[in-house]
Amino acid sequence: MNQKTIFARFIRPSLAWGVAILFFFPIFWMVFTSFKTDADAVKPEYLFLFTPTFENYVNMTENYDYWRFAVNSVITSVFATVLTLVVGVPAAYAMAFDPGRHTKDILVWMLSTKMLPAAAVLYPMTFLTKNFLGIFDTHFLIIIVLSLINLPIVIWMLFTYFKEIPKEIIEAGKMDGVNIWGEIKDIVLPLAWGGLASTALLCFIFCWNEAYWTVRLTTTEAATLSKLIEGNRAPEGLFFGRLSAVSTAAVGPIVVLGWFCQKQLVRGLTFGAVK
Amino acid sequence: MTSRTLPRLLQAPAVLLLLVWMLVPLGMTLFFSFIRYVLNSLRRPEWTTPSLDNWRGWGNYEYVLYQAKDFWFAVQNSLFIVGSVIVLTVGLGLAIAVLVNRAFPGRGIVRVMLISPFFVMPAVNAVLWINMILDPVLGLNGLAVEGLNSLVTSLQTMPLLGGFFSLWPEFEPLSFRATQTSAIAVIIMVAWQWTPFAVLIFMTSLQSEDQQQKEAAILDGANAWSQFRNLTLPHLARPIAIVVMIQAIFHLSLYAEIEIVSRGNGNKNLPYLIGEFASNNIGAASATGIMAVVLANIVAIFLLRIIGKSLMD
């Protein structure tokens, strides 16, 4: 065996496995620790060998009201994703198939709103929603805010998907007398279905993981899982088991969801620039 | 121009919503940044309501820039964190993407493992790393150093080599809770989360690399490094630009990680500094906010110049 095949057959795979294990280790450790009691979790002698317990998960649902936070996360993320798509699809559609002189500027401007530091506008937002609109700590507010912060990325992604649909197909449809809704429903959506699904998914993931606005614009009613994590991080060290269980339950669904759609995510995330 | 009406109508909701989202809070922030506005003041109760009577001109900006000493440190630290994370993720991302670009047993599982950190909630990421991994006493960091020390102690009792090991110092675990080290902790955890993102994108891009060109290069006797430098790297120019841009967008407004890792220990970036001011001095917080917006826009213009053009083709 020459040097090259040794590398290809042994060294490359073991290096790759090593790196993958290293990167996955913190997640594994979190799940692993969630089955230890708080006392065992900090004892070196129980580092790898211990009696697994579901105590933390039982405790989490009984004392932390996990399900309320989880339900809030689901409600806000689902509705925010739907709202973002309802607003984003027509806009991206018009930009891709009927671009005007300013389309490019509008797209760049939209993306630039993502760079607005949230901390800079937090106080006005709290002030407005609490004192004027009275919608502080409501699902409605969180859904609107999540939609707004994800709208630029969603429009960009959809725009790149739509742009890949050949214009001729649309033209042919127009010739046959299809109106605009028929055009979207019967021609564009079936063709852009994959792109639409991955956009929705990514939007959902970003909504689920959002931790700035959801923590600061809620108290109890609309508080999501990020708020639960923020609230439970304080007691340093002593509650590793509990902390791990809550964390595992908070990120579990989304990590599994991510596994299923990793391939589709790439094109969306790169605005179609990487093929 | 009736043909333009429909596209405009379709875009209108999105444009209007984003315009309101940008202008209303931004307008209020701009207004607050020019007045004296605090949440609690026993001495000057009139300052607790926002009003034009409390006009302060550039006073808040002068206060933030010259009197409150943390502003420049926060700017520097923001850029340090964003810059380090970008360098780390692009470097590691390239190496890992090239590594897993060939088929090998279990590649699918390796890919799933590698990509997982990207989906973890930032708050969980921070809590997990700072407590369970980096903590100098209870975390794996502390346990590993403790284990190493006890190993050295037991080696000292060895007959011949014991003398050698007794010369070793006792190891101290690194604490990640001081100002500078906690910035490093933040960089580690953010890089851990975003390297998978870079890997994912570079990996996809590598699959479209021109294999014939590569084979020709091999026939010409090009070694692996020069293949990488002269063929792969230029091919990845655009994906790299995209990874840099998206990360700059996300990391300039980094907050959860800083808050969880560095509460009160002096490590701060601009968003965190704004948060600190906002606990009472809304005027100063708003002035800092406006300057953060300006900084973000400078970075944005710079980045969009570089890649904005190619994205539209």
A4 CA to chain B: closest CA distance, Å?
11
The per-residue pLDDT for range B47-105, each reduced to its tens digit, is 777 777 777 778 788 888 888 778 888 888 888 999 999 999 999 999 999 888 888 88
Helices (H), ranges, A136-192:
139-163, 167-175, 180-182, 189-191
Q: Which of A107, A227, A233, A264 to mutate to test the interface with B (most CBs of B within 10 A)?
A: A233
Full domain range(s) for residue B88: 69-134+179-312
Residue B62 lies in a domain: no
Max CA-CA distance within chain A?
76
Q: Cβ(B116)–Cβ(B189) under 8 Å? A: no
- Same domain, yes or no, for B73 and B216? yes
CA angle B56, B60, B63 (to 5 degrees): 125
Facing residue for B128 by CB, picked from A26, A117, A119: A26
- CA–CA dist A225, A246 (Å, integer): 9
Residue B63 lies in a domain: no
Residue A79's region, left for phi above 0, alpha for psi from -120 to 50, else beta, is: alpha
- Same domain, yes or no, for B262 and B148? no
Q: Residue B172: which residues within 8 A CB-CB, separation 6 or more?
A: B145
What is the pLDDT, as a whole number, of residue B1? 43
Residues of B (76-115) whose Cβ lies below 8 Å from A: 96, 99-100, 102, 104-107, 109-115
- CA–CA dist B80, B96 (Å, integer): 24
- CA–CA dist B181, B128 (Å, integer): 17
- Same domain, yes or no, for B183 and B247? yes
- Same domain, yes or no, for B125 and B142? no
- CA–CA dist A34, A59 (Å, integer): 12
What is the pLDDT, as a whole number, of residue B249? 80
* ipTM of predicted complex: 0.84
- CA–CA dist A247, B302 (Å, integer): 38
Residue B8 lies in a domain: no
- Same domain, yes or no, for B296 and B226? yes
- Same domain, yes or no, for B257 and B270? yes
- Same domain, yes or no, for B289 and B149? no
- Same domain, yes or no, for B164 and B283? no
What one-character DSSP code corresponds to residue A115? Answer: T
Nearest of B128, A135, A223, A73 to residue A231 by alpha carbon: A223
Could you say which of B147, B175, B203 is where a domain stops? Answer: B175
- CA–CA dist A154, A195 (Å, integer): 11
How many domains are there within chain B?
Answer: 2
Residues of B (185-244) whose Cβ lies below 8 Å from A: 192, 195-197, 200-201, 204-205, 208, 238-239, 242
- Same domain, yes or no, for B155 and B298? no
- Same domain, yes or no, for B192 and B103? yes
What is the pLDDT, as a whole number, of residue A85? 93
What is the pLDDT, as a whole number, of residue A268? 59
CB contact A121 to B (< 8 Å): yes
Could you say which of B123, B153, B175 is where a domain stops? Answer: B175
- Same domain, yes or no, for B267 and B299? yes
Domains identified in chain A and CATH numbers: 66-269 (1.10.3720.10)
CA angle A201, A136, A122 (to 5 degrees): 75
Facing residue for A44 by CB, picked from B14, B32, B143: B143
| Spans in chain B with pLDDT lower than 70 | 1-3, 264, 306-313
How far, in Å, are A200, A272, B159, B244 from residue A100 at the CA level? 26, 21, 84, 29
| Spans in chain A with pLDDT lower than 70 | 1-4, 233-238, 263-264, 266-275
What is the pLDDT, as a whole number, of residue B308? 59
First to last CA, chain A: 36
Could you say which of B113, B148, B175 is where a domain stops? Answer: B175
Residue B50 lies in a domain: no
Enumerate the residues of chain B whose CB falls inside 8 A of the CB of residue A114. 249
Q: Write out the two tokens for B312.
A: 């539209």
- CA–CA dist B204, A266 (Å, integer): 7
- Same domain, yes or no, for B290 and B171? no
Annotate A248-261 with b (16+ C-beta within 10 A) or e (fewer): bbbbeebbeebeeb
Half-sphere exposure (Cβ direction) of A62: Cα atoms closer than 13 Å: 7
What is the pLDDT, as a whole number, of residue A18? 92
**CATH code: domain of residue B211:** 1.10.3720.10
Q: Can you tell me whether residue A248 is helix, strand or coil?
A: helix
Measured over the CA atoms of residue A44, residue A50, residue A54 and residue A55, the dihedral's sign is negative
By C-alpha distance, the chain A residue nearest B296 is A115
Q: What percent of chain A has pLDDT above 90?
A: 17
Contact B112 A259 (CB under 8 A): yes
**How long a stretch of residues is chain B?**
313
What is the pLDDT, as a whole number, of residue B71? 86
